[in-house]
Amino acid sequence: MSYWDDNSMEMISSWNSPEMSDCDETSLQDSAHRHCCSLQIRSLTLFHRKYEVSNMFGAKRTRKDERVILRMECEEDNPDDGFQWRKYGRKTVSGNSNPRSYYKCTFAGCKVKKHVERGADDVNLLVTTYDGKHNHPTPTGRSSTRSGPRNRSGFSVSQRFRGLPSSSPACQYCTSSLKPQLYMTGHSKLPSFPVYHNHARLYRGVQWDQ
């Protein structure tokens, strides 16, 4: 890998196990697979890389300390990453007919935000951008006074699969070579380009299994 720090080491070791697959319709119906995927998304939140790469798009935007962009295939609009988010906005951005949703971490005092959007040419491609650094550990469960999970959009698979063990058995679907791909980190604001599945490889700062 061309970059290195303690945090990234933690992230890399987390990502290498277990395998992440492309979440096709069939595999997403398997609860073990969905839980497996959610664990790996959670691992990504441990990754905080210092700003160190140039902005290849030439955009001159205000820097923020931490930004991580995750690209993956998933049908969930808001897949579980281990934290609880509250949706505060939704916007259609130029170049992408799919709206972008904005979320804030609901933990008291935590100012981490993220936004999620679908790929312009592939609705199964989910691009999640994290802004900031959590100042609290990953909650063990969703803090909610409600007795049961809700079905409305924005709630994660973890609520539905909370009963699964934290170390789920090997996932039968997680054998694909396609992994969720972190393709840009440390940039302040997203350049206004549509997220095309076939072109994302050009923009990634980090590519898995290279």
Q: Applying CB under 7 A, which residues contact DNA? A: 58-62, 78, 84-91, 93-95, 100-102, 106, 113, 115, 144-148, 150-155, 189-190, 192
- Closest CB to DNA among residues 17, 145: 145
The least distance separating DNA from the CB of residue 192, rounded to whole angstroms, comes to 4
Q: Is 132 left (phi over 0), alpha (psi -120 to 50) or beta?
A: left
How would you label 14-48 residue by residue, b for 16+ Cβ within 10 Å and e otherwise?
A: bbeebbbbbbeeebbeeebbbbbbbbbbbbbbbbb
- Closest CB to DNA among residues 20, 200: 200
The least distance separating DNA from the CB of residue 205, rounded to whole angstroms, comes to 17
Peptide bond into 191 cis (omega under 30): no
The least distance separating DNA from the CB of residue 83, rounded to whole angstroms, comes to 12
Nearest to 69 by CA among 175, 182, 152, 172: 182
Q: Tell me the sheet residues that pair with 114.
A: 103, 130
- Closest CB to DNA among residues 84, 181: 84
The least distance separating DNA from the CB of residue 171, rounded to whole angstroms, comes to 26
- Closest CB to DNA among residues 27, 84: 84
The least distance separating DNA from the CB of residue 197, rounded to whole angstroms, comes to 18
- Closest CB to DNA among residues 47, 103: 103
